[in-house]
Structures are given as C-alpha cells and as structure tokens.
Amino acid sequence: MLNIIFNRGTKDIENENYVFSPDTYFKYNYEDEWFEDELVKEMVLDVDSSVVESAHAINSPVLGIIAQGNRDKIRILVDEARNL
C-alpha cells in the first residue's frame, strides 16, 4: 500500500514515509535510469506534451529543452514507490 503524507503538522516529520519537499527528495535520490522507463516517458508526454530526451533534458513544445519539472518529479516518485 502506498501512503502519501501531506503536512498535517510536526508529528508527521518523524514518519519514515514523510517527504517534506518532493523536489529536494527527488534531487538527492533519483536515478538516471528512471527516465528510461517507458511509463515515465508516457506520463510526461501525456500530461505535459513533452518528450523525455534524457534524465536531464525534457523537450517541451512550449519551453524547449528543460530540466524535470516538479509535476514530473512527483509522478516519477509515485511510480518508483511501486517498486519498493
């Protein structure tokens, strides 16, 4: 079962499943291989109409080549949580 904990106060900070900042957690824990996953590529394309070029480059039709966005990071973290 996947539990996503939103900040309800300081009592959650001690929970090992608590992530205060998905962006910071992603920055220090992601692996480049995550962006090779076809599901990740499909999620980014479906939601953002962008193409994953590499772990460090997403091709957006609006912004051009960009780094991963926060929405991408959260979706990828949820997807990777399935593998824990």
Residue that is written with structure tokens 């926060």 in the block:
70
Residue that is written with structure tokens 């929405």 in the block:
71
Instruction: Say if pTM beats, i.e. exceeds, 0.95.
Output: no
Q: Is 3 exposed, middle or buried (0-12, 13-18, 19+ CB in 10 A)?
A: exposed
Please provide residue 30's backbone torsions phi and psi, each rounded to the nearest 5 degrees.
-70, 160
Domain ranges of the chain: 10-81
Give pLDDT tens digits for 18-36: 677 778 888 888 899 999 9
- Mean pLDDT value across residues 47-68: 92
